[in-house]
Chains A and B, each alone.
Chain A
Amino acid sequence: MITIKGMQRGRFLNPIPQLVTGLSSSAAASSCDAMDTANQLQSLHSRYPEYTRDSTKATEHRSAFNKYNIRGLSQCLNWPKRFNDNSHPASYLVNHHFTSDRNTDAKDFSSKLLKGIPDFVKIVEVGPRDGLQNEKSIVPTDVKVELIKLLVSSGLSVVEATSFVSPKWVPQLADAKDVLEGIQDVEGVSFPVLTPNLKGFEAAVAAGAKEVAVFPAASESFSKANLNSGIEDNLARCRDIASASRSYSIPVRGYISCVVGCPFEGHVAPAKVAYVAKALYEMGCSEISLGDTIGVGTPGNVSSVCCHVCFFSYIGFDCSGAVCTVVPMLEAVLDVVPVDKLAVHFHDTYGQALSNTIISLQMGISVVDSSVSGLGGCPYAKGATGNVATEDVVYMLDGIGVKTNVDLGKLMQAGDFICKHLGRASNSRAATALSKVKAHASKL
C-alpha cells in the first residue's frame, strides 16, 4: 500500500518541476501519465485520505462551527423566517431580499459597532421636492401628487412636498399651491415645504402648509451664489420665518448645505457648520438636516491630514491639505445641538452616501434624508448622481435590523412610477437589482 502510494505520488508530482523549468515540456507532458484530471481526482479520494474526509466526519466537523452562529442570526435579517413562501409568484426571491421586520436578536452582538445605532430611524423623503426640482422637463402636478401618495402608502411619515420659491428661480415647483391642495386629505404624514423668505412662508400658510423648512448654507460663497445673500443675512431671514411660524404653531425644519465641502471654497470648517446649526437650533427649528451638497464627504475623522488626492486637490484646487470628512463635522455639531434634533442628508455623487450614513447612525443620528430612486442629480457635476436613493437606505437599515416603518416593495413601486414617467432608469441599485431578480423569477 505504501509502495503504491509512493509510486503514485512520484508520478503525480514529479512532472511538475520539469514543466516549470520548461525543459522538454512536451516530453514531460507525454511522459506524465495520460490520466485525465478527473480520474486523478477519483484516485485521490482513495489514495490520499489526508486530502479527503469521511462524510460523517465532515458533517461532525462542520457542525462544530455552529457555535460561531450568533443566536438568531443564522438568517439574513433581510430575509424572512419562512423561506418558501409561495403565496406570490415572485415572493420566493422578493421576500428573500427585504422585510421591514426588525430582528431583535440583531442587537445582541458582542460587537459595539452596531450597538449604538438607534432602534428606529425616521426617513425624510425629499424626492418630490429636492428630486424633482432639478428635472429639465416640468413634471405635471397630478404626477407629483400621485408620487407623494404612493410614497405615503409605503409607510414614509415625512415627505417634503414642494417649495414656495419664486417660479422665476425654480419653475419646476411653480405648482406648489396645487400640489398641497392635492394632498390635503392625506392624514398622519408631515409635508414640510421650503420657504426661503417671509413671502414664501405666507404663501405656504395660505396654501395650507403645516410644516415649513429653511435652508441656510455653511459656506459664505455658496450662500451668496445659491441664495443671493451671505450667511448672516440668510440666518436673519430664517429668524423672521421662525418667529412667524411660532405664531402659527407651525414647526420649522432647518437645512444646512455644504456641511463638508463647497464647490467654491473647498473644505468647510466644522466649526462653521456648528455655528449655523446652533443658530438654527436657537431660533426654534424642530430638526436640523446636515447636507453634504456636493457629496464629497467620507466617513473619516481626519480633518487636517493630507489625503494626497482629495476631490479638490485633484482638480488643482489648493485645499490646504484638508480633507472633507463627516465625523469632525458631526462632532462639532453634536457639541451644540442635541443628537435627536439632527438629520443627515448625504449625496451619493462619489458613492459615499451609505458609508457616511452608517457612521452617522453609529454616532447616534436617527433621521436620514433620502430621495426615492435617487432623484435629483448634482447641479455641480452634471450627469453625476445626487441624492442617495431611499430604497438603498431602507435596504441597508432593514439589513441592520433598524425599524423604519417603510415597506421596500411599495417604495419600489413609487420609484418605478416616477422613473417610468421621467423615462429613465432608477438611480437606486437595490431597486434595480431587485427588479431584475423579480423579472428573472417570474420567468421561472
Chain B
Amino acid sequence: MLLDILAYTVSFANFLQFIHFNMSSLEEPLGLDKLPSMNTIDRIQRFSSGACRPREDNFGMGICFIEGRSCSTSNSCDEDNEEYTAETYPWKRHTRDIAQCRTFSQKTTTKGRNSMKFGMIDDSLSDFHSSPRGNSKDIPHSTHKFLGSIPSYVKIVEVGPRDGLQNEKNTVPTAVKIELIHRLASCGLSVIEATSFVSPKWVPQLADAKDVMQGVHGLEGIRLPVLTPNLRGFDAAIAAGAREVAVFASASESFSKSNINCNIEESLVRYRAVTRAAKELSIPVRGYVSCVIGCPVEGPIPPSKVAYVAKELYDMGCFEISLGDTIGVGTPGTVVPMLLAVMAVVPTEKLAVHFHDTYGQSLSNILVSLQMGISTVDSSIAGLGGCPYAKGASGNVATEDVVYMLNGLGVKTNTDLGKLMSVGDFISKQLGRPSGSKTAIALSQVTAEASRI
C-alpha cells in the first residue's frame, strides 16, 4: 500500500514536471535569443571528457569495445606483420559476441533529454560526464540493444582519388588529383587511397600514378595506400615512394576472371607474392574483397566464399580486409549473414566495409555493419565513381553522407564535414557535374538560402 502511494507520488511528480516543461514551452515560444550561445570549443569541452571518451592512442583510434579489451585498430603495422601461426588463434578471443558487448553508454543520456528545456541545456548535464552512465536504468533497453555496439570511433578510408576517379570518362589532370588529395588531407582524413599501379592499358585514367605519388610525397601523417595488382605494380609503387599497398581479390570466380583475368586461386597466389615482398620491406598491405554480396555474372555469393577469401587475405598478412559490395545490391538482410561468416574467421577490428549506393542501400548497410562492430568504412568524396555494371547509376557512397550520419550517431571520425563539403565542391566543379552526395547538395542549398536572408 505504502509502495503504491510512493509510486503514485513519484509518477505524479514526473507528470507535473512534464506538464510544467510543456506549459513553459507553449508560453514562451522558442526564440533564437533564448539559445545559449556557446561556441564549438565550449561545446566540445562541455560535453565530452576523459571519463567518457575512449582512450586515444597516437593515431586517434578509439577503444573498440570487444569484451572490454582495448585493441589497436588497423594502423598498427608491427602487430600486423607478425607471423600468423595456425596453432594459436589470437583472433578468436576477439570475435564479437553481440549479445555480450558492452553498451555504448558513456555518451547517451535520457536524463539530459528529459531535463532539457527547449534549446537550453540544463546545467545538471554538466555532471553527467563525471559519473559515467553505467546506470542502465536511465537508458531505455532499446538504446542498448541497437546502438550499444556501435564503435565510438570509426576510421574513414577515402577512396575518391582512386576508386572514384578511375571510372571517369575523361582523364583528370595530375595536378587536380594532387590538389584533391592535399585538400582531403586537410579535412582530417587519416587514410586516402591515392592511386593504382595497374597497367595503363587497363586503367588509362590512373596512368600518372608515379607523378601523383611524387606530388603527395610531402604529406605527413596521412596514409596513402596504392593498389598493386601484382609484383610489377608493387615494384613500381615502391620505386615511386609508396609506403602502403593494397590488393584486391574477388569472392566470385567469374568476376575475378573478367576483372583481373585470373581465377580466385591464381589471384591469391599473386597476392601472396606481393605480401611476401611487402613484408620484407615492412610495407603494410590492405586487402579488398569484391562482390561480397552479389556478382553481376554469377548472382548471389554465398557468405562462405567471402569468408574464405577474407581469411586467405588475412592469413597472407593483410592488416585490414575491406569487404566490397561492388554492385551495391546488398541490404541489411544479406550484409548481416555475410559479416557473420567473415567475422567468424577474421577479427572484427581488421575488417572494413565498402558499400556502393547503386540501389540507395549503403547507409543502412553501413549502420548495421556498425551495429555489428565494424569500425572502418570506405567512402568516396562527393560519391565519386559510378557503377561500371549499371551505366549511369551511382556507385561509391559519398563521404559527406557517411560523416553526416556518423556525426549524428555520436561517432568520432576526426573529420570536418564543412571542409569535406568544400573539397567535394572543388572536385565536382572540376568534373563539371553536381555532387553525388545528398548532404552536400542539401547543405549547399541551405547555406545559399541562409546567406540571402
Contact = CB atoms under 8 A, between A and B. Distances in A.
Contact of B235 (A19, A51, A352): A19
B331 interface: yes
A433 B328 contact: yes
Interface string B359-372: 11101101110011
Given A96-B329, A315-B443, 5 more contacts: A321-B46, A358-B368, A385-B438, A399-B361, A437-B390
B430 interface: no
A235 to B, nearest CB: 11
Nearest to B333: A400
A220 B300 contact: no
A351 to B, nearest CB: 4
B294 A307 contact: no
A120 interface: no
A37 B198 CA distance: 13
Given A114-B336, A381-B445, A320 B345 contact: no
Contacts of B391: 436, 440
Nearest 9 A/B pairs, CB to CB: A298-B408, A399-B331, A68-B341, A429-B360, A351-B438, A76-B300, A400-B333, A306-B43, A302-B410
Contacts of A304: 47, 109, 112-113, 116, 121, 125
Interface stretch (A170-178, A185-193, A261-269): A261-269
B303 A68 contact: yes
A13 B280 contact: yes
Contacts of B431: none
B68 interface: no
Contact of B410 (A76, A323, A434): A323
A97 B331 CA distance: 11
Nearest to B438: A351
B179 interface: no
Given A355-B366, A395-B361, A432 B280 contact: no
Interface in B333-350: 333-334, 336-337, 340-342, 344-345
A30 interface: no
Contact of A315 (B48, B439, B446): B446
Contact of B408 (A51, A52, A221, A300): A300
Given A269-B118, A349-B438, A350-B442, A109 B142 contact: no
Interface residues of A, number: 127
B30 interface: yes
B238 A19 contact: yes
Contact of A399 (B29, B44, B107, B332): B332
B407 A307 contact: yes
Nearest to A71: B337
A220 B25 CA distance: 9
A78 interface: yes
A25 B390 CA distance: 43
Interface stretch (A39-47, A131-139, A153-161, A194-202): A39-47
B308 interface: yes
A125 B303 CA distance: 34
Nearest to B395: A433
B121 A111 contact: no
Contacts of A168: none
Interface stretch (B82-90, B165-173, B204-212, B265-273): B265-273
Interface in B3-44: 18, 21-22, 25-26, 29-30, 32, 35-38, 40, 43-44
Interface in A393-420: 395-396, 398-401
B77 interface: no
B232 A37 contact: yes
Contacts of A75: 299-300, 302
Nearest to B144: A301
Given A316-B450, A433-B393, A96 B294 contact: yes
Given A303-B116, A325-B408, A320 B441 contact: no
5 contacts: A112-B98, A310-B407, A311-B404, A351-B363, A384-B445
B417 A68 contact: no
Contacts of A350: 401, 404, 438-439, 442-443
Interface of A: 13, 16-17, 19-20, 22, 25, 37, 40-41, 44-45, 48, 50-53, 55, 58, 61-62, 65-70, 73-79, 83, 96-97, 103, 106, 109-114, 116, 220-221, 230-232, 265-267, 269-272, 275, 295, 297-311, 313-316, 318-325, 327-328, 331-332, 348-352, 354-355, 357-359, 362-363, 378, 380-385, 389, 392, 395-396, 398-401, 428-430, 432-434, 436-437, 440
B372 A272 contact: no
Contact of A96 (B230, B265, B299, B450): B299
B114 A271 contact: yes
B340 A392 contact: no
B222 interface: no
Contacts of A324: 408
A164 to B, nearest CB: 28
Contacts of A76: 293-294, 299-300, 329-330, 334
Contacts of B438: 348-351, 384-385
Contacts of A74: 300, 302-304
B337 A70 contact: yes
Given A109-B337, A272-B25, A16 B281 contact: yes
A436 B363 contact: no
Given A96-B299, A267-B119, A271-B18, A66 B304 contact: yes
